[in-house]
Amino acid sequence: MTIPLWWQNGVIYQIYPKSFQDTTGSGTGDLRGVTQRLDYLQRLGVDAIWLTPFYISPQVDNGYDVANYTAIDPTYGTLDDFDELVAQAKARGIRIILDMVFNHTSTQHAWFREALNKESPYRQFYIWRDGTPDVCPNNWQSKFGGSGSAWRWHSQNGGSAWRWHSQSEQYYLHLFAPEQADLNWENPAVRAELKKVCEFWADRGVDGLRLDVVNLIAKDQDFPDDPTGDGRRFYTDGPRAHTFLREMNRDVFTPRNLMTVGEMSSTTLENCQQYAALSGDELSMTFNFHHLKVDYPNGEKWTLAKPDYVALKALFRHWQQGMHNVAWNALFWCNHDQPRIVSRFGDEGEYRVPAAKMLAMALHGMQGTPYIYQGEEIGMTNPHFTRITDYRDVESHNMFAALRAAGRDPDELLAILASKSRDNSRTPMQWDNGKNAGFTQGEPWISLCDNYTEVNVAAALRDENSVFYTYQKLIALRKTQPVLIWGDYQDLLPDSPSVWCYRRQWQGQALLVVANLSDQCQEWHPPHIKGQWQALLHNYGEVASQPAAMTLRPFEAIWWLQR
């Protein structure tokens, strides 16, 4: 039998430290807060925790504008606090994964400040091009600007990805905010410095790295205009992306035994088959986001739309089958940039608990490494803020301002934000029904979700039928059922908009997963199957031991195992 690597049968828990646990009364979470909650994470059973950035940063983009890769922002604590977190986590069998933002740095980073001098060797750490104050080097658009006429903000050049520096009379490239200058990966000195960053954290006991938008690091060096788009075709999965990652893998990832997961922006299956190949030449696994755009009609995020579940299943089928025996998937429903999944694809009212369980069971039955975002395991929901002043996210504020200027109704925009804003997942973790949900004794940096008195960790732990215990079982099953790790994927009802039914098979073992995606009862007739089965997991309680025609209750989900 093939012995899986720890991350192939493991489950990873994502922590957004700012909203996880505050120990100082500042209203902002910190590293000591993470340490304080390790017993809870051990009880859940996760194998590793991924921490989003806690480095020194001006916080233009919530820490993804890094000003020092090896120093901790005092808001979050100290290196001693980090070392204690690592030690306490390892004592509980929990590994540590850090977020590395290597496509760009903050313009407050020492490298960039030096780069403002044309004679400095650090000038070549960034991407500078000639132009005039009124004419950019090309027509590439910032990802924080967009291509629509209503999305012109954040730069004196509208949505341009270029920023003019008057003193040196050149532009620098920023695919994101102007305060996030893109690094020049063509420069070997840049790659050498980034390897040192990885070594620094590996020396402190880190087990893995999540690499932010890492498929954007290799730009077409001709920097051509894009006649039909926003420029992404010339830097997404760019000319030397695979070459750069193979070098990083050879020089630091493999020698330091670092698990790596790459966040892939607008990528393709074919590229991810290379990035996350089982040969291990580049990365361990990849995130892709295609399945989280099934409620973006015609690619438009800022609108209200129901998810297309036939498209959702087709996307999972494409990636499950395309990566099988070739490369490794990362499985996830939500993160710090996505709304709460039970609000998005489930139900917040009467069926919140079965819907949250169903979504977990549908995802965790597939091949890949599941990621759980903090609060997902108790069924946390979107907060449904009603005022623009409730939001802290720069993207949300700029969307609201730009679309208001374009004449859109403010109530409509607030409804869209309540559904789509990144802040929906950034409200504080709900630990109990006490003051500020047990998150802080001070004033929270962002408001809590009002339902914390009912939806919280303490209540979940008291209820043996809570969402928490379903997640706990799912995590444990990955250690005992090889079909979850190695099995193939067959979509048995690809055209149903309401029922998801798939089968996994491996060496005589089979798993059958059925999930009702709707809040209505659905008739289900099992496919032609043979042999003896046992009910392995169910989100409503008891169920027939053999798959048989049945009426699925709202959001009902069942796992059957055949040996």
pLDDT at residue 144, as a whole number: 79
pLDDT at residue 146, as a whole number: 40
- Phi/psi of residue 147, each to 5°? -105, -10
Task: Report which DSSP code applies to 141.
Answer: B
Three-class DSSP category at 550: strand
CA distances to 183, 372, 453, 465, 466 from 461, in Å: 46, 17, 14, 9, 7
Q: How many CA atoms lie within 13 A of 555 on its CB side?
A: 21
Residues 245-271: tens digit of each pLDDT: 999 999 999 999 999 999 999 999 999
pTM of the model: 0.96
pLDDT at residue 156, as a whole number: 34
| 57 residue type, one letter | S
Cα(245)–Cα(280) distance, rounded to whole angstroms? 11
Question: Among 132, 150, 182, which residue terminates a domain?
Answer: 182
Is 244 among the domain residues? Answer: yes
Cα(465)–Cα(472) distance, rounded to whole angstroms? 11
- Phi/psi of residue 101, each to 5°? -105, 85
Per-residue pLDDT of the chain (563 residues; tens, 9 = 90+): 579 999 999 999 999 999 999 999 999 999 999 999 999 999 999 999 999 999 999 999 999 999 999 999 999 999 999 999 999 999 999 999 999 999 999 999 999 999 999 999 999 999 999 999 999 999 999 987 543 333 333 333 348 999 999 999 999 999 999 999 999 999 999 999 999 999 999 999 999 999 999 999 999 999 999 998 899 999 999 999 999 999 999 999 999 999 999 999 999 999 999 999 999 999 999 999 999 999 999 989 999 999 999 999 999 999 999 999 999 999 999 999 999 999 999 999 999 999 999 999 999 999 999 999 999 999 999 999 999 999 998 889 988 998 999 999 999 999 999 999 999 999 999 999 999 999 999 999 999 999 999 999 999 999 999 999 999 999 999 999 999 999 999 999 999 999 999 999 999 999 999 999 999 999 999 887 888 899 999 999 878 778 989 999 999 999 999 97
Q: Are residues 392 and 333 in the same domain?
A: yes
Cα(146)–Cα(158) distance, rounded to whole angstroms? 9
Q: What is the CATH number of the domain that holds 446?
A: 3.20.20.80
Q: Are residues 169 and 246 in the same domain?
A: no
**E-assigned strand segments in 422-498:** 490-491
Q: What is the CATH number of the domain that holds 494?
A: 2.60.40.1180
pLDDT at residue 1, as a whole number: 55
Q: Are residues 82 and 110 in the same domain?
A: no
Could you identify the residue written with the tokens 């959702």?
Answer: 312
The arrangement of strands across the sheet holding 95-100 comes to 285-287, 259-263, 208-211, 95-100, 48-51, 12-15, 369-373, 330-331
| 5 residue type, one letter | L
Q: Provide the residue range defining the domain that includes 114.
A: 104-182
* Domain count along the chain: 3
Element (H, E) at 105: strand 104-106
Question: Among 163, 182, 201, which residue terminates a domain?
Answer: 182
| 88 residue type, one letter | Q
Q: Are residues 444 and 402 in the same domain?
A: yes
Q: Are residues 80 and 127 in the same domain?
A: no
pLDDT at residue 229, as a whole number: 86
pLDDT at residue 158, as a whole number: 40
Is 479 among the domain residues? Answer: no
Q: Are residues 149 and 242 in the same domain?
A: no
The residues carrying an active-site annotation are 212, 263
pLDDT at residue 149, as a whole number: 31
**E-assigned strand segments in 228-387:** 259-263, 285-287, 330-331, 369-373
pLDDT at residue 151, as a whole number: 32
Q: Are residues 280 and 372 in the same domain?
A: yes
Helix axis angle, 241-248 relative to 188-203, nearest 10°? 40
Helix axis angle, 410-420 relative to 394-405, nearest 10°? 150
Q: Are residues 155 and 301 in the same domain?
A: no
Q: What is the CATH number of the domain that holds 159?
A: 3.90.400.10
Q: Are residues 403 and 539 in the same domain?
A: no
